[in-house]
Amino acid sequence: MNQPAEPTPLPLPLIPLLRAGEGAPDRDVLATWHEALADSVGIELPHSLFALWLYPEGGGVELIGPEALEQDQLPVPLPQPRVTDEQAAELAGIVERAGYRSALCRPIRFGRSDVGLLLVAALEPGRYDAGARVLLGRIAEAIAPTLARIAQQRADPGAAAPDLGAELADAWTEARSPRDFFAIAAGVLSPLVPHDVFEVLIPGPAPGQQYRLGAHADAPPWTDPRLVIGKDQLDLFGLFAGEPALEIPDAAADARWPADLFAEELAPGQRLRSLIGARVTSSGHLSAHLLVGSTQPGVYGSSDLSTLARLGRILGPKIDGYVLTSQLNVLRKQLVTLRSAPAHSARVADMLATTAQFAEATRRLAEETRSMVPCERLVLAVRLTDGDRVVLVEPGESKHWSDLPLVPVAGTPLGQVLGGHAAELVSEGAKGTELIVPLRVGGRTVGALVLTARGFGAIGRSDVAPVQQLADLVAPYVELVRRAAMLPAPVIPGWKRVI
């Protein structure tokens, strides 16, 4: 039996902009915007009635349009904090019984609460199918940031401005990770500055790099390579151009902003359009940059920049605390390494002197190295010829080295160390960090010890000295096995051959 085909999605109509101002828009401005919105929606979603209500932040409900609907005194449901599907369907049913033959009603949701209610109705029966319901939902999502702003602006003018610090007080000590804390901060900011993305970027490990601290869910250090944004992807300092604040009315028309940045935080097919940012300083130094974005253009104004800057001043010490925690974690690891290096070296020397099989020795070497340096993989790269090819010997490898494939290394970081162009190398990549030190015997480089770890900063320049000591201990034993592998096969006299 064939499954029913999915309804063809209707194109989203153009949504007229309601520019952000210093205060709440007056009735005439809202009425004009409502009429333009109704006309635009009517192209793809024909209607005889296009009703729009606002839920002000202070409570109650306010009709945006059409004005004549006020006389009908419809029982518009109030959010608690949301309007249920049953309540929306009940209001649509009342409209149908009043003379319209088709009606759809959809709450306009932003964050954890509803900011408005949208209803379309037609005089013809069966006008709205599943595709129309989906389209109405997309329209509600598109206008949600605008209504959220108006809802906040319609709050009691005499009410005191929210105390951002007080609302973040509990999160300051209870959040278990940066992601948890900044998710709460985003929720506190949302009623004041509606947004689809809230991000905290701190300077990354390399010049121009940024790290998405706001998305880090684990313990320190902040070394998840998936959260690193390279300068080739986003030139954040160039974007701010030395200014303390950033405002991009429409990122789609600004080539400096990558279209796919933070796409995983948005619904499929969407991208950030409006964007504002604030530079966060603490104790006289740069701590981070805050970025807030919406999928709708022209959403933000100067009041939003002021609010974001105020939040940045509150978050500065917390961001510094996270950065110092990460640095302390790295320093502790380095101290443990320095303290334990002599004992590790002694154990490695004893193991090499007492282990007959080199395969077993490499396996134990890997275990000893991991206890000293947090690496995921250890490989011995050994030269068997004078060319630019090596064999890669994994811990426990039992094959004769002459049977292992030769791997070209010209033009690679490994090739630079083997060729003497670099004394050692620490390189960062998408998959992790790699440390390469040479295996030296009698003034010659016969190979290299290669360590790989996940995340940037897991191993670094401070690990070079102890790892080089290990390599110097292992190198003579590697040379013995290397020479044996390079010896020609023995010639067996014919009369001794077994036929």
CATH entry, 27-153, from 3.20.20.70, 3.30.450.40, 3.30.930.10, 3.60.10.10 = 3.30.450.40
In which residue ranges of the chain is pLDDT below 70?
Answer: 1-13, 17-24, 111-112, 154-163, 165-167, 170-173, 205-206, 219-223, 327-344, 429-431, 455-458, 488-499
Q: Does domain 164-327 have CATH number 2.40.40.20?
A: no
pLDDT at 439: 92
Ranges for all domains in the chain classified under CATH 3.30.450.40? 27-153, 164-327, 355-486
Report the alpha-carbon distance of residue 428 to residue 124 in Å, rounded: 64
pTM above 0.85, yes or no: no
For residue 73, give the nearest of 97, 87, 103, 94 by alpha carbon. Answer: 94
Cis omega before residue 66 (within 30°)? yes
Q: Two tokens at 20?
A: 């952000």
User: Quick one: fold of 355-486?
Assistant: Beta-Lactamase (3.30.450)
pLDDT value of position 393:
92
Q: Which pLDDT score, from 0 to 100, does residue 493 have? A: 59
pLDDT score recorded for residue 299: 76
DSSP state of 459: S
Helix (H) or strand (E) holding 486: helix 464-486
Report the mean per-residue pLDDT for the chain: 81
pLDDT digits 0-9 by tens, 174-227: 777 888 888 888 888 877 788 888 999 988 766 778 888 888 887 666 667 788
**Angle, in degrees to the nearest 10, between helices 302-354 and 164-174:** 10
Strands lying side by side in the sheet with 377-382: 407-408, 389-393, 377-382, 444-453, 432-441, 425-429
Looking from the CA of 459 toward its CB, the CA atoms found within 13 Å total 31
Alpha carbon 355 to its chain's center: 47
User: Partners of 210 in the beta sheet?
Assistant: 203, 229
